[in-house]
Amino acid sequence: MIISDWIPFAMLGIVLVLGVGSLALWRRVIASHEDDTLHVLDNTGAIPHHQLAVSHKLEVIDRWGEILTIVAAVYLLAMATIYAYQYWIQASAIK
């Protein structure tokens, strides 16, 4: 295959990788608002509402991050495998 035939597939791979990176950055920003201290002497005995909201956001971001990472890895691995197979076929046909 000619290299220009791979451009749409490579662009999709780049978009997937940028999506994973964006989710990682977003998670870092959200996690910076998390209070990770243990309030032992706090009389309320309950987790503040803000912490529950931050925790839920982090769980959602983590779930989508895992899904998108797996999709990107499988896609890029499939793309590399197809490219290597085509290269092998072309190299075998020349002989």
Q: Where are the domains positioned within the chain?
A: 3-32+51-94
Listed range (35-39, 46-50, 72-76) with the worst mean pLDDT? 35-39
Is pLDDT of 34 > 70?
A: yes
Is pLDDT of 5 > 70?
A: yes
62-95: burial string, b at 16+ Cβ within 10 Å, e else: eeebeebbeebeeebeeeeeeeeeeeeeeeeeee
Confidence label for 1 from pLDDT (cuts 50, 70 and 90): low
More confident position, 38 or 79: 79
Confidence label for 86 from pLDDT (cuts 50, 70 and 90): confident
- Per-residue pLDDT tens for 50-75? 788 888 999 999 999 999 999 999 99
| pTM (predicted TM-score) | 0.79
12-22: burial string, b at 16+ Cβ within 10 Å, e else: ebeebbebbee
- Provide CB contacts within 8 A for 75, sequence distance 6+: 12, 13, 16
